[in-house]
């Protein structure tokens, strides 16, 4: 008998019902399943992985040990919290500090860390762990998720860099926060837990807090506020940008186009957001109107950073002016950088669309910036992401208006916050019946994985055609 025949005989005799082979059989079937999805539809793999992760965390949060009272958590509350954590949103229907036990808070924190890695990164990691390899299309998806930061054969190394970078930054933030909590009178275990929790929550732009009253008691404490702002801002830049900064430092000429656009637009939105938020709320006694100049500036800067997807708040969102809420809606919808822990339609999407509008106004055939031409395919993807995001927000807002009967400004604010995975809230989430909670749950999931997966899928679906129809331009505008 040849070696191949012997191997095939052993395979044929191995049946799932055999107890000693059950574990190996399940692993093999899982490996084949992952291989088939990764090579045929990596975008479907990303959605499947995120769905599985959410089911796991929902199950854990439903356990009696997860609640402070020892009771089973209702499905809609456990599911909402799991999705909010894994999708790094921060919206809550129950108090994180009061309702959940230490085990429940730990589950939420792990969910934030896992979800912060991103859908495509998680899908690639699962394929690597189970199959020990990535298919070509799987590598292309993973490479696209990190903005082609490296050659195709280096995807595994880049994935490890993503995880190491997350751990290092979160560790540095924790080291900055823990001493402050110790000085404020907390015991070492408490200070350590709070420092780690805020570090992971801030870098992953989640907005969950282990204190029942959030960070409002620290609204003038720069030792706490500055690390939180730095963590959120770094997380919102995205792993591709962080890796470019690691390799090239602040040498502008060495940065790729994605890094230049992300950092430039991020600072523009940060400055514009702080200025507008501060001016609109300057005399509002319900928020910052009664504060001194330094505190007003601090609140304005903090609010601008958090509106980009951070989710921490120092003022009651219901007390803001209607104009401020509208500006906040725009900043939340914009979001952060691609392949980051932030949500929204992404700053590069906004940059591409503004550049296209400017080129059209000038009559240029090409969209150019920093000595580079942006492909038409990229502009089509940007349009798709914007339209998909606006459609999701509009449909969800319509449903929530019908379900809740709340005012449009509150509903729109909560809807955009869920879609953009921001986590700032007018407390509408906690007031909604289960049907409304499920709407926001689906919206958070779609906002985290939908537009990103759509962008990656469309980027890989470009194909050459052997024919071209005659052009005919319809009337626009």
Residues 6+ apart with CB under 8 A from 199: 170, 171, 172, 173, 174, 177, 227, 231
Q: Is the pLDDT of residue 6 over 60?
A: no
C-alpha triplet 167, 173, 174: angle, nearest 5° = 85
Please, what is the average pLDDT of the chain?
Answer: 84
Q: What is the pLDDT of residue 406?
A: 93
473 inside domain: no
Q: pLDDT grade, residue 92 (50/70/90)?
A: very high
Two structure tokens written together for 414: 């909560």
Q: Is the pLDDT of residue 438 over 80?
A: yes
Two structure tokens written together for 83: 């999705």
Q: Is the pLDDT of residue 312 over 80?
A: yes
Two structure tokens written together for 97: 């500090």
Select from 458, 199, 449 the least CA-distant residue to 343: 449
CA dist 275 and 290 (Å) reads: 18
CA dist 164 and 172 (Å) reads: 12
What average pLDDT does this structure show over 404-428?
94
132 inside domain: yes
- Which residues are paired to 368 by β-bridges? 373
Q: pLDDT grade, residue 7 (50/70/90)?
A: very low
Q: Is the pLDDT of residue 382 over 60?
A: yes
Phi-psi region of 405 (alpha: psi -120 to 50; beta: other; left: phi over 0): left
- Which residues are paired to 266 by β-bridges? none
Note the pTM of the prediction, 2 decimals: 0.86
Q: pLDDT grade, residue 456 (50/70/90)?
A: low
Is residue 449 within 8 A of residue 46, CB to CB? The reply is: yes
Q: Is the pLDDT of residue 452 over 80?
A: no
Q: What is the pLDDT of residue 165?
A: 86
The residue to which tokens 């992953």 are assigned: 204
What average pLDDT does this structure show over 398-405?
95
The residue to which tokens 């036990």 are assigned: 101
Q: Hey, which of 35-39, 128-132, 323-327 has the most confident mean pLDDT? A: 323-327
470 inside domain: no
Is residue 49 within 8 A of residue 119, CB to CB? The reply is: yes
What average pLDDT does this structure show over 47-66?
90
Q: Is the pLDDT of residue 1 over 50?
A: no
CA dist 427 and 40 (Å) reads: 42
Percentage of the chain beyond pLDDT 70 is: 78
Structure-model confidence comparison of residues 97 and 20, the more confident one: 97
Q: What is the pLDDT of residue 409?
A: 94
pLDDT digits (tens, 9 = 90+) for 255-299: 999 999 999 999 999 999 999 999 999 999 999 999 999 999 999
CA dist 49 and 120 (Å) reads: 9
User: What CA–CA distances, in Å, run from 178 to 165, 173, 181, 188, 189?
Assistant: 20, 9, 5, 8, 10
Expressed as residue numbers, the domain containing 336 is 19-459
230 inside domain: yes
What stretch of H or E contains 368? strand 368-369
Q: Hey, which of 141-155, 178-192, 338-352 has the most confident mean pLDDT? A: 178-192
Residue 439: exposed, middle, or buried by beta-carbon count in 10 A (0-12, 13-18, 19+)?
Answer: buried
Count of structural domains, the chain: 1
307 inside domain: yes
Is residue 82 within 8 A of residue 89, CB to CB? The reply is: no
Angle between helix 155-183 and helix 136-145 axes, rounded to 10 deg: 40
Q: Is the pLDDT of residue 134 over 90?
A: no
5 inside domain: no
SS3 373: strand
Q: pLDDT grade, residue 36 (50/70/90)?
A: low
Q: What is the pLDDT of residue 140?
A: 52
pLDDT digits (tens, 9 = 90+) for 72-83: 999 999 999 999
pLDDT digits (tens, 9 = 90+) for 189-233: 999 999 999 999 999 999 999 998 889 999 999 999 999 999 999
Q: What is the pLDDT of residue 244?
A: 86
């Amino acid at each position: 008998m040849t070696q191949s025949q012997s191997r095939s005989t052993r395979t044929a005799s191995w049946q799932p019902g055999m107890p000693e082979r059950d574990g190996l059989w399940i692993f093999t079937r899982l490996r084949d399943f992952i291989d088939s999805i990764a090579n045929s539809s990596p975008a479907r793999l990303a959605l499947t992985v995120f769905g599985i992760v959410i089911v796991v965390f929902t199950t854990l949060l439903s356990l009696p040990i997860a609640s402070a009272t020892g009771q089973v958590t209702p499905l809609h509350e456990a599911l909402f919290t799991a999705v909010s954590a894994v999708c790094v949103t921060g919206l809550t229907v129950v108090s994180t500090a009061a309702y959940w036990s230490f085990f429940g808070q730990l589950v939420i924190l792990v969910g934030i860390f896992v979800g912060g890695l991103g859908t495509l990164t998680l899908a690639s990691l699962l394929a690597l762990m189970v199959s020990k390899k990535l298919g070509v299309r799987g590598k292309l998806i993973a490479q696209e998720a990190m903005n082609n930061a490296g050659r195709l054969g280096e995807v595994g190394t880049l994935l490890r860099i993503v995880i190491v970078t997350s751990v290092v930054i979160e560790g540095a933030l924790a080291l900055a926060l823990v001493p402050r909590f110790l000085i404020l009178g907390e015991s070492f275990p408490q200070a350590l837990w709070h420092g780690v929790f805020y570090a992971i929550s801030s870098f992953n732009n989640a907005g969950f807090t282990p204190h029942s009253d959030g960070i409002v008691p620290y609204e003038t404490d720069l030792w706490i506020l500055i690390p939180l702002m730095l963590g959120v801002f770094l997380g919102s830049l995205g792993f591709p940008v962080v890796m470019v900064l690691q390799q090239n430092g602040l040498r502008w000429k060495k940065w790729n186009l994605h890094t230049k656009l992300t950092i430039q637009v991020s600072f523009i939105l940060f400055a514009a957001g702080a200025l507008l938020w501060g001016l609109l709320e300057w005399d509002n006694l319900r928020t910052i109107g009664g504060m001194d100049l330094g505190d007003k500036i601090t609140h304005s800067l903090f609010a601008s950073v958090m509106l980009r997807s951070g989710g921490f708040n120092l003022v009651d969102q219901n007390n803001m002016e209607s104009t401020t809420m509208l500006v906040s809606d725009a900043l939340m919808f914009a979001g952060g950088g691609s392949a980051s822990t932030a949500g929204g339609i992404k700053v590069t999407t906004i940059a591409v669309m503004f550049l296209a509008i400017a080129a059209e106004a000038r009559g240029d055939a090409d969209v150019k910036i920093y000595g580079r031409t942006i492909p038409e395919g990229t502009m089509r993807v940007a349009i798709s992401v914007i339209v998909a995001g606006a459609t999701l927000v509009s449909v969800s807002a319509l449903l929530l208006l019908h379900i809740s009967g709340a005012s449009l400004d509150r509903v729109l604010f909560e809807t955009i916050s869920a879609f953009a995975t921001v986590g700032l809230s007018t407390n509408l989430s906690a007031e909604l019946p289960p049907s409304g909670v499920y709407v926001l749950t689906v919206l958070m999931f779609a906002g985290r994985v939908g537009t990103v997966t759509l962008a990656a899928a469309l980027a890989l679906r470009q194909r050459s055609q052997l024919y071209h129809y005659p052009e005919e331009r319809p009337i626009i505008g």
